Structure 1
Amino acid sequence: MRINLASVLVSDQAKALEFYTTKLGFVKKNDVPMGEVSWLTVVSPEDPDGVELVLEPDSHPAVRPFLDALVADGIPFTSFAVTDVQAEYERLVALGVEFTQPPTAMGPVTTAVFDDTCGNLIQIAAMIQAPGE
């Protein structure tokens, strides 16, 4: 068994696609029209056949209160792995991405949290040392 899809709930698919491709560097994989929305996925250019991130419309009535509560409490909806949090932070800040938490060492990992402009806080993280070292 393996993970094939993961979703992030977004307020606007077109805006999300723009942000996730031009700012974060993901690549569009699927864009299948389904009425007013699309089956819209992006992938890492480093692994185009890997896990797809679904840019899922947040239209269910339970979604907005849930995401608003996470944002209000500063809790990221999901996390993306990076090699160097500080370098990625600097790259994204230069592109206008707004961070709610700068790079912060937390034991064996460094994390930072940004606003994806579509209703989510997203964490980036990198291991400082291998587990058990």
Structure 2
Amino acid sequence: MRIHLSSVFVDDQEQALRFYTDVLGFAKKTEVPLGDDRWLTVVSPEDPDGTELLLEPSGHPAVQPYKTALVQDGIPATSFAVDDVHAEFGRLRERGVRFTQEPLEMGPVTTAVFDDTCGNLIQIVHSE
């Protein structure tokens, strides 16, 4: 069994697509119109057949309280693995990404947390 798809709730799919592709560097994988919304996924260009991230509309009534609570408590909605948190932090900061947690080393794990501009906190992590 493998993880095929994961999702993150986004306030605006078009804004999310721009952020996740133009800023973070993911590649659009799937786009299927579904009424006012889309089935919209992105993947790592390093693994185009790997796990897809669904940029899921946050229209369900339960989503906004959930997202608000996570952000207020500083809890990331998801986590992305990187080779070097410090390097990725620098690259993303140069692109205007706002971090809520700068790189933090906790033994063999280093993390940082940023705002995805779509209502979520996202963690980047590297383990030695």
- Paired residue for 2:120? 120
Amino acid at match of 1:80: F
Q: Structure 1: 5+ residue runs without aligned partners?
A: none
Deviations along 1:82-116, whole A, 9 cap, x unmatched? 00000000000000000000000012100000000
Distance (whole Å) between structure 2 residues aligned to residue 73 and residue 87 of structure 1: 26
Equivalent position SS for 1:18: helix
Distance (whole Å) between structure 2 residues aligned to residue 63 and residue 108 of structure 1: 33
Distance (whole Å) between structure 2 residues aligned to residue 63 and residue 35 of structure 1: 19
% same residue = 68
Q: Structure 2: 5+ residue runs without aligned partners?
A: none
Amino acid at match of 2:116: D
Equivalent position SS for 2:19: helix
- Paired residue for 2:50? 50
Distance (whole Å) between structure 2 residues aligned to residue 81 and residue 101 of structure 1: 16
TM-score scaled by structure 1?
Answer: 0.95
Distance (whole Å) between structure 1 residues aligned to residue 107 and residue 120 of structure 2: 25
TM-score scaled by structure 2?
Answer: 0.99
Amino acid at match of 2:17: L
Cα deviation for residue 21 of structure 1 reads 0.1
- Paired residue for 1:79? 79
Distance (whole Å) between structure 2 residues aligned to residue 28 and residue 119 of structure 1: 20
In the TM superposition, structure 1's runs of 4+ consecutive aligned residues that sit over 2 Å from their partners are none
